[in-house]
Structure 1
Amino acid sequence: MPLTFTLEPAVTPELRDGLLDLWTDVSNAGGAVGYVPPVTREEIRPALVQHFASMAEGRGKLLVGHDEEGRVAATAFLTYNTHHLMTHWLWLYTVMVHPRHQGKGYGRDLLGAAADAVRRMDGIDAIRLTCRGGLGLERFYASCGYKEVGRIPGAIRVAPGDDRDDVIMLLPLA
């Protein structure tokens, strides 16, 4: 059954808790979303609060996918670029699909819903994201239309002796 996507949902305690659970579960399953397992909800909470602050200030939007049981199953944060010469594209951050839903095409659905949402925004021509090298993520994003436009070797230190590339991807919307 497909996910139901909502752009800019009301931030309720249930949504907050669902996002914390999603981010924790994805991180602990080895997902490349800013943490290395094991991680707790309390370790992730400050980053989520930062996203909420950005949204409250009008600098970002949240896209959430709920499953058939109403649980948070996927999410992505859309963040406007504040540099006055780069406001024609935005960032896609913290792209996640819950491990219990992976392999069902929901990641592709999430990226499609994000692109559709951005296409409805005035003056935005492209979506930019970065991903951690070494996991095949750039191949997945490329299969969704993103193009690799840059790579910083060894920019992400997962652990001592385990440095990964920071891969920059772009999806032109025109």
Structure 2
Amino acid sequence: MALTFEVDPKFDSTLRDGICALWADVSNAGGAVGFVPPVTTEDIRPELVKHLVSMAEGRTRLLVGYDEKGAVAATAFLVRNTHRLMSHWLWLYTVMVHPGHQGKGYGRELMSAAAEAARGTDGIEAIRLTCRGGTGADRFYATCGYKEVGRVPGAIRVADGDDRDDIIMLLPLG
């Protein structure tokens, strides 16, 4: 069963709680989305608030994928670049698929929906994202058409003695 995607959904407490739960579940399963396990939804909430502020300011769009039960199963945040010389591309952040839905092709569906949402944004010609080295995420994004365009060795400190590369990837939309 495919996910149902919505861009810029009405934000309410149910959606907030669904995103926080998804983010915690992905993080606790080892997903590289800004946290290291163990985390709770209360640990996640302040980071989600930062995204919400950016949404209120019109710089960020939210893409949500709902499963057949209507639960939040996937998300991505599309963030406009505010630098005047780089406004022709946007950032893709916090790309997540619930661990219970891994292996169903939902990640590819999410990336395709994100590209469609970006194409529907005036003046956007490319999507840029970063991912944590050592997770295989770069290989996944490459299968979705992204190309590695940069790498900062050891930029992400997961734990003492566990530094990972910050991999920069780009998807031209033209």
What is the distance in 2 between the residues matched to 1:123 and 1:64?
A: 22
What is the distance in 1 between the residues matched to 2:136 and 2:14?
A: 32
TM-superposition CA deviations, 1:126-171 (whole Å, max 9, x none): 0000000001111100000000000000000000000000000000
Gaps of 5+ in 1: none
The equivalent of 1:161 in structure 2 is 161
What is the distance in 2 between the residues matched to 1:29 and 1:117?
A: 27
**1:156 aligns to what SS in structure 2?**
strand
Shift of 1:120: 1.3
The equivalent of 1:42 in structure 2 is 42
TM-superposition CA deviations, 1:78-103 (whole Å, max 9, x none): 00000000000000000000000010
TM-superposition CA deviations, 1:58-89 (whole Å, max 9, x none): 01000000000000000000000000000000
**1:82 aligns to what SS in structure 2?**
coil
Shift of 1:122: 1.3
The equivalent of 2:20 in structure 1 is 20
What is the distance in 2 between the residues matched to 1:160 and 1:4?
A: 40
* Counterpart mapping for 1:110-121 below 5 A: 110-121=110-121
What is the distance in 2 between the residues matched to 1:161 and 1:30?
A: 17
* Counterpart mapping for 1:115-130 below 5 A: 115-130=115-130
Q: How many residues align?
A: 174
The equivalent of 1:131 in structure 2 is 131
Q: Which amino acid aligns with 1:167?
A: I
Normalised by the length of structure 2, the TM-score is: 0.99
What is the distance in 2 between the residues matched to 1:118 and 1:162?
A: 34
Gaps of 5+ in 2: none
The equivalent of 1:88 in structure 2 is 88
**2:32 aligns to what SS in structure 1?**
coil
TM-superposition CA deviations, 1:13-37 (whole Å, max 9, x none): 0000000000000000000000000
**1:34 aligns to what SS in structure 2?**
coil
**1:142 aligns to what SS in structure 2?**
helix
Shift of 1:121: 1.4
The equivalent of 2:8 in structure 1 is 8
Normalised by the length of structure 1, the TM-score is: 0.99
**1:122 aligns to what SS in structure 2?**
coil
The equivalent of 1:146 in structure 2 is 146
What is the distance in 2 between the residues matched to 1:134 and 1:167?
A: 10
Aligned CA RMSD, in angstroms, stands at 0.4
Q: Which amino acid aligns with 1:157?
A: R
What is the distance in 1 between the residues matched to 2:57 and 2:125?
A: 22
Are 1:106 and 2:120 counterparts? no
Q: Which amino acid aligns with 2:69?
A: E
Q: Which amino acid aligns with 2:171?
A: L
- State the percentage of identical aligned residues: 74
Q: Runs (4+) of structure 1 moved beyond 6 Å?
A: none
